């Protein structure tokens, strides 16, 4: 199942998966990559990776992978809307959700590469396992981009926790996310907290 839109209406015709050629050079296939994740919510660390991937590839698909066993803070639709708002300026980023295996998402869209950020050595073990599993399943490659050190400690779960306790996360998330967090976590009137 997929939902979502292409960021920026001008690109819609160019970015559909079955249009595999560039308008200027009809023979040249578009180079596609996917940045997958839960994005609950997207942080400045995620955004930095998407921005860097968008310079390396013709089209970057941001895939909000649905995990039905995890109840998120933001709905899938809210996550997509926030990512679209934060990535609109790049012009070659599309955002959608997917329920299923990442390799199937890639296969259906002719995407040969997964791009992930690596924050620290502690990320590496699990990321390597997933990369090897995905490659073994379908041949898709995973490329790791070292996270900007400024964001090496940053995760969506820490952002949610710090924000829930009233901590300042304005330097860790894009402005639209900061506003959305404030709206979600505003203390309810009469709750006594
Ligand atoms: O932001 P996250 O939660 O660290 O992202 C993890 C994610 C969504 C990329 C990973 O769990 C994933 O790819 N899920 C899709 C289901 C899948 O393909 N599982 C097999 C992984 S080898």
**Best residue among 1, 35, 38, 96 to mutate for probing ligand 1, ranked by most atoms within 8 Å of CB:** 38
Q: What is the per-residue pLDDT across 167-176, written as a single tens digit (0 to 9) for each?
A: 999 999 999 9
Determine if ligand 1 sits within 6 Å of the CB of residue 134: yes
> What is the 8-class DSSP label of residue 81?
H
Residue 34 bridge partners (DSSP): 61, 114
**Is 70 noted as a catalytic residue in this protein?**
yes
Determine if ligand 1 sits within 6 Å of the CB of residue 65: yes
List of residues 6+ apart from 63 with CB closer than 8 A: 34, 35, 36, 37, 96, 97, 98, 102, 105
Q: What is the per-residue pLDDT across 104-153, written as a single tens digit (0 to 9) for each?
A: 999 999 999 999 999 999 999 999 999 999 999 999 999 999 999 999 99
List of residues 6+ apart from 165 with CB closer than 8 A: none
**Is 156 noted as a catalytic residue in this protein?**
yes
**Is 31 noted as a catalytic residue in this protein?**
no
Please say whether the dihedral angle defined by the alpha carbons of residues 138, 93, 126 and 163, taken in this order, is positive or negative: negative
């Amino acid at each position: 199942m997929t939902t979502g839109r292409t960021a920026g209406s001008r690109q819609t015709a160019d970015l559909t998966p079955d249009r595999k050629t560039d308008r200027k050079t009809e023979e040249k296939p578009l180079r596609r990559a996917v940045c997958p994740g839960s994005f609950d919510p997207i942080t400045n660390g995620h955004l930095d990776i998407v921005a860097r991937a968008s310079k390396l590839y013709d089209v970057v698909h941001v895939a909000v992978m649905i995990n039905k066993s995890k109840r998120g803070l933001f709905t899938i639709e809210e996550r997509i809307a926030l990512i679209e708002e934060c990535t609109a300026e790049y012009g070659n980023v599309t955002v959608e959700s997917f329920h299923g295996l990442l390799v199937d998402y890639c296969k259906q869209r002719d995407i040969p590469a997964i791009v992930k950020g690596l924050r620290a050595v502690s990320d590496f073990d699990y990321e390597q396992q997933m990369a090897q599993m995905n490659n073994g399943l379908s041949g898709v490659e995973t490329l790791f981009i070292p996270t900007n050190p400024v964001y090496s400690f940053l995760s969506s779960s820490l952002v949610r926790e710090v924000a829930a306790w009233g901590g300042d996360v304005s330097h860790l998330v894009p402005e639209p996310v900061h506003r959305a967090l404030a709206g979600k976590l505003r203390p309810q009137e009469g709750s006594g907290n």
